[in-house]
């Protein structure tokens, strides 16, 4: 029985985590979205079945941190799958950790073998390689920096709440499949014990960036020195619904690579190891697509682990059937 309209629908999901960040892939029981491109199907999903999104990822079945991935038949028969990513508040163009989780899920189901797999997303195709050791490399959509060293004025409430008295933050606006504001200007150490302050600080930045000319930015990325041997940087990424990314964020790492490529601080093909706020790692590298325009194609490598195979029950009689939101 299909979800979205009928009572007591059953939805089959596979849960995984990629560097600590969870992904829930809907493998059966999702809404019918037609046969268009993933961008077309996202529109149908958003306009006609948004409560299904909420039912899958929000409480009581999920949590703010969970990213959903609706597995779709691809429009192009040469692609292995199509996918639409979603979260507690809406939809993602692309999702790096989620793509790694999706490939691990398809491998777990025996639907794919090691090698390259084309995946369709609403913002373009990506090529995911299931490596022999089980890790996954994602050749992401073209990524670029839109604006360098943008000065953002904060609302000044941080001094009272422990995020420092900084009222101006300079950072870059960049695209890596989602939109990011990236800055190293943070008075709070990038440590797990400081999560609450980091969330508050980045939320203030998000509001200010949106109000000051960049409404498209829905992720904020702080970066700084790594803690572990062999890593090149550490980050903290605030996601659109105020959850923080436990992984180093694939699209955020892509945006960072675009900034480093534009600044000439990372060479084409060189590896850049990024540590998340919990210490999990992705390895990134890039190739140029258009050096003059600063457009790159990043490749992000990481690993995912399956955590559950489940059937979700969507009972219309349940007052919280469609999630708490």
Burial class (CB in 10 A: 0-12, 13-18, 19+), 41: buried
How many alpha carbons fall within 13 Å on the CB side of residue 200? 18
Of 4, 22, 96, 122, the residue at the interface with ligand PYC (CB under 6 A) is 96
Please tell me the distance from the alpha carbon of residue 36 to that of residue 73, in angstroms, as a whole number. Answer: 10
Closer residue to ligand PYC in complex, CB, 21/275: 21
The CA-based angle 88-89-95, given to 5 degrees, is 70
Stretch that binds ligand PYC, among 1-9, 249-257, 258-266, 315-323 (CB under 6 A): 249-257
Catalytic status, residue 239: no
Please tell me the distance from the alpha carbon of residue 146 to that of residue 45, in angstroms, as a whole number. Answer: 29
Phi, psi of 317 (to 5 degrees): -75, -20
Q: Is 14 in the site for ligand PYC (CB under 6 A)?
A: no
Stretch that binds ligand PYC, among 34-42, 69-77, 225-233, 244-252 (CB under 6 A): 244-252
Q: Is 275 in the site for ligand PYC (CB under 6 A)?
A: no
Per DSSP, what are the bridge partners of residue 70? Answer: 26, 84
Q: Is 221 in the site for ligand PYC (CB under 6 A)?
A: no
Q: Is 218 in the site for ligand PYC (CB under 6 A)?
A: no
Structural tokens at position 308? 């559950």
Catalytic status, residue 72: no
3-state secondary structure of 195: helix
Q: Is 95 in the site for ligand PYC (CB under 6 A)?
A: yes
Closer residue to ligand PYC in complex, CB, 9/183: 183
CA 83 vs. chain centroid, Å, equals 13
Stretch that binds ligand PYC, among 91-99, 121-129, 160-168, 181-189 (CB under 6 A): 91-99
User: Which residues between 174 and 213 bind ligand PYC (CB under 6 A)?
Assistant: 178
Q: Is 21 in the site for ligand PYC (CB under 6 A)?
A: yes
Structural tokens at position 258? 């675009």
Q: Is 123 in the site for ligand PYC (CB under 6 A)?
A: no
Please tell me the distance from the alpha carbon of residue 220 to that of residue 243, in angstroms, as a whole number. Answer: 11
Active-site residue (options: 72, 186, 239, 249)? 249
Closer residue to ligand PYC in complex, CB, 45/175: 175
Q: Is 258 in the site for ligand PYC (CB under 6 A)?
A: no
Whether the link from the prior residue into 60 is cis, omega within 30° of 0, is yes
Q: Is 245 in the site for ligand PYC (CB under 6 A)?
A: yes
Structural tokens at position 184? 């190293």
Q: Is 62 in the site for ligand PYC (CB under 6 A)?
A: no
Please tell me the distance from the alpha carbon of residue 41 to that of residue 118, in angstroms, as a whole number. Answer: 18
Q: Is 251 in the site for ligand PYC (CB under 6 A)?
A: yes
Site of interaction with ligand PYC (CB under 6 A): 21, 67, 92, 95-97, 178, 239, 245, 247, 249-251
Indicate which residues carry an active-site annotation.
Answer: 95, 249
């Amino acid at each position: 029985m299909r979800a979205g309209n009928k009572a007591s629908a059953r939805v089959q999901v596979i849960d995984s985590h990629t560097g600590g960040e969870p992904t829930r892939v809907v493998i059966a029981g999702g809404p019918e979205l037609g046969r268009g491109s993933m961008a077309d199907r996202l529109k149908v999903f958003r306009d006609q079945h948004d409560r299904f999104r909420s039912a899958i990822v929000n409480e009581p079945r999920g949590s703010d941190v969970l990213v959903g991935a609706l597995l779709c038949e691809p429009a192009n028969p040469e692609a292995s799958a199509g996918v639409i990513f979603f979260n507690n508040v809406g939809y993602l163009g692309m999702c790096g950790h989620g793509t790694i989780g999706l490939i691990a899920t398809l491998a777990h189901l025996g639907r794919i073998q090691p090698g390259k797999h084309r995946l369709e997303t609403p913002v373009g195709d990506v090529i995911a390689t299931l490596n022999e050791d089980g890790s996954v490399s994602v050749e992401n959509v073209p990524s670029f920096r839109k604006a360098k060293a943008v000065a953002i004025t904060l609302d000044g409430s941080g001094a009272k709440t422990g995020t420092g008295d900084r009222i101006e933050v300079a950072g870059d606006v960049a695209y890596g499949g989602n939109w990011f504001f990236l800055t190293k200007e943070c008075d709070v150490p990038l440590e797990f014990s400081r999560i609450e302050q980091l969330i508050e600080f980045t939320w203030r930045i998000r509001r200010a960036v949106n109000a000051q000319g960049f409404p498209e930015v829905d992720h904020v990325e702080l970066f700084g020195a790594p803690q572990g041997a062999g890593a090149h940087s550490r980050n903290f990424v605030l996601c659109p619904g105020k959850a923080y990314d436990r992984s180093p964020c694939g699209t955020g790492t892509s945006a960072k690579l675009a900034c480093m490529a534009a600044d000439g601080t990372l060479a084409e093909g060189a590896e850049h190891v990024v540590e998340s706020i919990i210490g999990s790692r992705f390895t990134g590298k890039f190739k140029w697509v258009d050096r003059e325009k600063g457009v790159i194609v990043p490749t992000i490598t990481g690993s995912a682990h399956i955590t559950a195979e489940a059937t979700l029950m969507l009972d219309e009689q349940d007052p919280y059937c469609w999630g708490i939101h």
